[in-house]
Amino acid sequence: MQIGTPLLNAGKHFKLGELAALAVRDATSQALFRQTGCCPQEQHSVLKRLKRFGITAVSLWEQCAAACPVPWANFSHTLEKIDRDSFLVGAVALYVHLADEYRAGLLTQGEADDWTCHLLEEIRRHYTCDVPVARELPLIQRLARFLSGLLAEHLDEQGQLYQGKSR
């Protein structure tokens, strides 16, 4: 059953299509927020972006504990600080996008490896850390290993700092 004349195109009025797309995007965003509480501020988190890959606070702590055994409270406090760090959130968003592109067949293994390693090198530079990039690991495991190394290095630095103050 069809009511009225279907609008197949807007002719020279391409602005109509743009306005329709904006209305749909806004309505979808509002519906998603009402249903799940999902909003841009909520998604500005490294852990939220990595949850779908099984990378959680606990999995990072387990990897980190091998290199730097610390109490959960110390680890959790440090993770909380970097979880919403703008630079790291942006880098992880780009990394995950590259991984998605590779999984969809839009990037080759070599292209994905090169760009993800480049991103990890940029993170190393930004945080002035010496965490190695495990090129031999699959993309997501490589990121998890790198993040746990970053956390371990940060926690080790904190431990040395506080030991130095107590002397």
Query: Bigger pLDDT: 106 or 64?
Result: 106
Question: How many whole angstroms from its chain centre is CA 137?
Answer: 18
What pLDDT, on the 0 to 100 scale, is given for residue 9? 65
Name the token pair of 108: 């080759």
In this prediction the pTM is 0.76
**Which residue, 19, 39, 41, is CA-closest to 29?**
39
Please state, in angstroms and rounded to a whole number, the distance separating the CA atoms of residues 34 and 57: 27
Residue 159 has pLDDT above 60, yes or no: yes
Q: Average pLDDT of 73-89?
A: 94
- pLDDT tens-place string over residues 16-60: 777 777 777 777 767 766 666 666 677 789 999 999 999 999 999
Which two tokens mark 161? Answer: 């700092």
CB 75 within 8 A of CB 61: yes
Comparing 62 with 21, which gets the higher pLDDT? 62
Residue showing tokens 């940029």: 122
